[in-house]
Amino acid sequence: MTDGIQEETVLIKWKGLGIRKIKDSMAKVVSYLILALMAGVLVSIFAYILGSGAAHATISMFTTFGDTTTGGLLNAIIGTWMLVGMGLLFSIPPGILGAIYIVNSKSNTRVSYIVKLFTDILTSVPSIVIGLFGYLVLVIKFGFGYSLVAGGIALGIMMLPYLLRIIEISFRNIPREQIENAYALGADDIKIASRVYLPQASKGILSGILLAVSIAAGETAQLIYTAGFNNALPTGFLKSQVAYLTYVVWTGINQPSQYSHYLAYVSAMILILTITALIFLSKYIVRRK
């Protein structure tokens, strides 16, 4: 009898434990599946792009100019960096000034609110709309033509909200007492910005810039309407078209020739490698003491 009761309790214990164990392992399986799915998507994109890129890459693609059906990608590689650099030129100063304005306690709170609201809205404006705006206003109305300046401003408009918010966050991470302390030592607003905000947030600002660059380098839609394409390097800032890598990806696939496809693969490979490197670099900068 007693043995029977003991056996039963043991069994009940086992049952309870069993259900918990099964639930536990099911949760594990599900989370691993989700992880595998995400990693799978990422790995297959990487494997496919890097594989097909590497298979068709030649040295001359990196050393000569081209027109998306013949020649190389050097003009598009350099053009991409020129456009991104232009974009930074138009987005870093307003990004930093805007962030300083937002975090300064003496600023008009309503203006700060509106700046933040506009930034948030700007983040969600589709890039093709920014491209269209760039075309109608910058290219046509201001007469910049397809050019570095028009493309750079279009990219800058897209980078600005990211930069502003990341810089704002790194400003807000500075201990409040340090800012008060600098004021107490007789710093004025300009000195607070130049001696406290900027140096202490420099890592955050740099990683924000790298992230903005990695986003901008992979943009296409704004540039289609503002940068055009060029078989060589632009000859000036205005009215001289610029080549860029995403254009080669976009048009290369539509061309009938096999070589155009190869150029598109290699462009995609360069973009993915560059963007990955930038993201890792920005993470490294943030983590470093």
Site residues (vs another protein, CB under 8 A): 105-106, 175, 177-178, 180-188, 191, 195-196, 200
CA quadruple 35, 37, 41, 46: dihedral positive or negative? positive
Distance separating alpha carbons of residues 212 and 216, to the nearest angstrom: 6
- Helices in 57-147 by DSSP H: which ranges? 59-63, 74-103, 109-124, 127-133
**Least Å from the CB of residue 230 to another protein:** 46
For residue 72, give the DSSP letter: -
Q: Is 186 left (phi over 0), alpha (psi -120 to 50) or beta?
A: left
Closest CB 169 distance from another protein, rounded Å: 17
Closer of 77 and 179 to another protein (Cβ): 179
> Taking the complex as a whole, how short is the minimal distance between the CB of residue 188 and another protein, in angstroms?
6
Beta bridge partners of 66: 71
Shortest distance (Å) from residue 211 CB to another protein: 23
CB of 172 to another protein, least distance (A): 16
- 140 contacts 99 by C-beta, under 8 angstroms: no
State which amino acid sits at residue 79: G
What distance separates the 2 farthest-apart alpha carbons in the chain? 99
Element spanning 33, H or E: helix 2-56
